[in-house]
Homo-oligomer: A and B are copies of this chain.
Amino acid sequence: MRIGFIGLGSMGAGMAGNLIKAGHEVTVWNRSPEAAAPLAEQGAKVAATPAGAAAGVEVLHSMLANDAAVREVILHGGVLDALTQGAVHVNHATISVALARELAEVHESRGLGYVAAPVFGRPAVAAAGGLNIVAAGKPEAIAKVSALLDLLGQKVWPMGDDPVRATIVKIGGNFLIGAAIESMAEATTLTRAHGVTAKDFLEVMSSTLFAAPIYKIYGGMIAEQKYTPAGFKMSLGFKDIGLARAAAEAERVPMPFASVMHDAMLEALGAGDGDLDWAGMARIAAARAHLKD
């Protein structure tokens, strides 16, 4: 199949690679062109512009950083004009509910298919084709891309027609991760103040009741008090909790845990911890209790 792929960051590069490996004819574009080189070696064509990656493809994937990048590249970068009638755009980015709704409408009005397909997983998982993909869009659009989604992920979780639904699952999921971090931050501050290390406490919890990837990965960082290199930066976590809060505000949903996290992350950002992994929220909880690192 003729495929375009826009956005070759640490996630997108691995995903595009999996499409190439499966034999598809892939044209890629990335803002900083050097990221495209390894994919060219794998057999991709490299476009000079976003529109170039969209021209003439049957399916266009994009994996951009945030609302601003999606607006600039997709909405204002000529991509929609370049897509041929009937082509499907699969958007993997984590974006706001408001933008998700706008994108769905814009594609619809131009006769383009649109699938929201945000992903859960880190770069290594993306490269291995092991992502969990939440997908929503019109049935005919989904049908056209489902074989491709199967190449990118270990499992595709269908969420129905409305792209907003996949978006809110991704946003809700990231909220749930942040809340697990703050929970561990507070719990370990409590146990440390009573003589039990974060490591001793979290080893019990993440081996038993909480034996799940999130508690193991972030719990491990908190146990070691080691927040670099960041798997997911505090500044990005802050942005994602902001997406949850904006979505909550739009539908009048009070989320007091999100408010607490917002305040804790503001304190972390003010401390200069924006480039730490967001597990570093544990530093704020400990500082408030006047524990030494």
Contact = CB atoms under 8 A, between A and B. Distances in A.
A177 B184 CA distance: 10
Contact of A212 (B183, B210, B259): B210
A157 B120 contact: no
Interface of A: 97, 120, 132, 134, 155, 157, 159-160, 162, 164-165, 168-169, 171-173, 175-177, 179-180, 182-184, 186-191, 193-196, 200-201, 203-205, 208-215, 244, 247-249, 251-260, 262-264, 266-267, 269-271, 285, 288-290
A149 B266 CA distance: 38
27 contacts: A97-B194, A120-B208, A134-B204, A162-B195, A173-B209, A175-B183, A176-B209, A179-B182, A179-B257, A180-B183, A183-B257, A186-B256, A189-B255, A209-B212, A209-B214, A212-B212, A212-B215, A251-B289, A252-B270, A252-B289, A254-B264, A254-B270, A256-B259, A257-B260, A259-B262, A259-B263, A263-B288
Given A254-B263, A263-B256, A200 B270 contact: no
A62 to B, nearest CB: 22
A210 B204 contact: no
B180 A180 contact: yes
Nearest to A178: B183
A168 B186 contact: no
Nearest to A203: B157
Given A173-B209, A179-B257, A186-B256, 10 more contacts: A164-B194, A164-B195, A173-B187, A179-B187, A180-B183, A182-B257, A253-B288, A257-B260, A267-B290, A271-B290
A211 B208 contact: no
Given A172-B191, A191-B169, A249-B266, A177 B254 contact: no
A270 B250 CA distance: 10
**Majority-rule SS of A interface residues:** helix
Contacts of A270: 252-254, 288-290
